[in-house]
C-alpha cells in the first residue's frame, strides 16, 4: 500500500471518528440547560390564575396551539371542546421538517410534571426526560419573560379541567432531530416593565407574543430578514401561501397606521361574525385574530408604541397567494 493511500485512509478514518464523536456528543450531552428547579412550587391564587388565563389565551397563545384548530373558518379558531387538549398537527404539508403534534396541557397531560419541570419546559424547550421540543413553541421568547408570568401560566393550566387524550408522538426528520438538540439555551428571564414605560412594556408583550417568530423572513431553517419586517411564508395543505406582514414603521409596513386603527384591527375580531366560513380560494391566515382580540386595549396600544419605535424596514409583502387548485 502506497504512502499516499495510507495517508488518505488515516485522514478519512479521523474524519469519520470526529463525526461519530460529534453525533454522540450532540445525542447524549445536549441540550444542556441545567436541571429543572427542584424547589419551585407555584403558589396559587385567583389573581395568579386569572393572569395566567389572560396570558395563555390572549398573549402567549398557549391555548391556540394546544387545541385543534378549524381551518374551514377564517383564522382557524380552536374547535370547541379541544381547548388545551392538544392534537394540533404541524407536518410536511405545512412546510415543517417532520411531524409535530401539540401535547395535552390540561392536568390529564401534565400531571406527572413538577412545577419546576414545567417552568424549564416553557422557558428552554427541554422536556421532563431531557429531550428538546421543536421550536414551533417559541420557548426562546418565553425564556425572556418575567418568572412571575411563567408561574401564572403554570397555575392556570393546572386549574383546567382534565381532558384525557391519546398521547401522540412527534418526530423530526434527520438532521433536524439532531439540530434541535443544539437549540435550547438557559433562560434569560427579565422583570416585566411598568406599563407607564409604554415602549419597554410593548417590547415585553411583543416578545411574550412571539410576534417576531412569524413576522421575520425565514428560509432554509434560519431567519434571513430584519426582525418584525415580515415576509415569512407559511404553506397550507392545499398549496396556498401566506406571507406575514411588515410590522415596522415603513410605508410598506405600519407607518400610516394610527394607534386607534391598530387596536381596532384586533378588537374587530371580538365579534364572531368576522370568523366566517371560507370559500375555496379565499384568504386564510394562521394569525389567531379572535384570541389576540381578547388582549386589553392598553396592551395592544403598548405593542403599537413599541413597533412604531423600530427602525423602518422596506419590505413590500404579498400577503396571500391562493392555490392554483382552489
Give dist(CA 239, CA 92) in Å, integer: 12
Specify the pLDDT at position 271: 83
CA neighbor of 121 nearest in space, from 229, 40, 219: 40
Specify the pLDDT at position 27: 56
Specify the pLDDT at position 275: 86
Specify the pLDDT at position 95: 87
The DSSP call for residue 134 is P
Low-confidence ranges of the chain (pLDDT < 50): none
Cα angle 157, 168, 85 (rounded to 5 degrees) comes to: 30
Give dist(CA 320, CA 36) in Å, integer: 42
Angle separating helix axes 147-159 and 46-54, nearest 10 degrees: 100
What is the strand order of the sheet 233-235 is part of?
A: 233-235, 241-243, 320-321
Give dist(CA 274, CA 277) in Å, integer: 9
**CB proximity list for 119: less than 8 A, separation 6 or greater:** 36, 37, 40, 147, 150, 151, 154
* Burial class of 265 by CB neighbour count within 10 A (0 to 12, 13 to 18, 19+): middle
pTM: 0.92
Specify the pLDDT at position 324: 77
Q: Are 141 and 208 in contact (CB under 8 A)?
A: yes
Specify the pLDDT at position 5: 61
Specify the pLDDT at position 25: 52
58-100 confidence digits (pLDDT tens): 999 999 999 999 999 999 999 999 999 999 999 998 889 999 9
Q: Which helix (H) or strand (E) holds 133?
A: none
Specify the pLDDT at position 323: 86
Specify the pLDDT at position 216: 97
Amino acid at each position: 500500500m502506497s504512502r499516499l493511500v495510507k495517508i488518505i485512509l488515516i485522514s478519512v478514518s479521523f474524519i469519520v471518528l470526529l463525526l461519530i464523536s460529534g453525533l454522540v456528543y450532540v445525542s447524549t450531552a445536549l441540550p444542556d440547560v441545567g436541571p429543572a428547579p427542584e424547589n419551585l412550587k407555584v403558589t396559587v391564587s385567583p389573581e395568579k390564575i386569572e393572569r395566567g388565563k389572560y396570558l395563555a389565551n390572549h398573549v402567549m397563545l398557549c391555548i391556540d396551539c394546544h387545541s385543534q384548530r378549524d381551518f374551514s373558518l377564517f383564522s382557524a379558531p380552536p374547535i370547541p371542546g379541544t381547548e388545551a387538549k392538544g392534537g394540533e398537527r404541524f407536518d410536511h404539508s405545512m412546510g415543517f421538517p417532520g411531524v409535530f403534534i401539540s401535547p395535552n396541557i390540561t392536568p390529564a397531560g401534565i400531571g406527572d410534571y413538577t412545577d419546576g419541570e414545567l417552568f424549564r419546559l416553557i422557558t428552554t424547550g427541554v422536556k421532563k426526560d431531557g429531550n428538546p421540543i421543536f421550536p414551533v413553541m417559541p420557548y426562546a421568547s418565553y425564556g425572556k419573560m418575567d418568572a412571575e408570568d411563567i408561574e401564572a401560566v403554570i397555575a392556570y393550566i393546572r386549574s383546567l379541567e382534565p381532558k384525557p387524550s391519546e398521547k401522540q408522538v412527534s418526530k423530526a426528520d434527520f438532521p433536524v432531530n439532531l439540530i434541535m438538540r443544539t437549540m435550547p439555551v438557559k433562560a434569560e428571564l427579565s422583570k416585566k416593565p411598568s406599563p407607564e414605560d409604554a415602549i419597554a412594556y410593548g417590547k415585553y408583550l411583543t416578545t411574550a407574543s412571539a410576534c417576531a417568530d412569524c413576522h421575520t423572513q425565514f428560509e432554509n431553517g434560519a431567519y434571513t430578514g430584519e426582525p418584525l419586517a415580515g415576509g415569512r411564508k407559511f404553506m397550507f395543505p392545499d398549496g396556498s401561501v401566506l406571507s406575514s406582514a411588515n410590522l415596522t414603521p415603513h410605508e410598506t409596513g405600519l407607518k400610516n397606521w394610527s394607534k386607534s386603527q391598530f387596536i381596532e384591527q384586533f378588537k374587530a375580531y371580538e365579534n364572531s361574525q368576522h370568523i366566517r366560513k371560507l370559500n375555496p380560494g379565499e384568504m386564510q391566515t394562521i394569525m389567531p385574530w379572535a384570541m389576540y382580540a381578547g388582549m386589553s386595549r392598553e396592551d395592544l396600544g403598548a405593542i403599537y408604541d413599541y413597533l412604531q419605535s423600530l427602525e423602518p424596514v422596506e419590505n413590500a409583502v404579498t400577503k396571500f397567494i391562493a392555490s392554483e387548485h382552489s
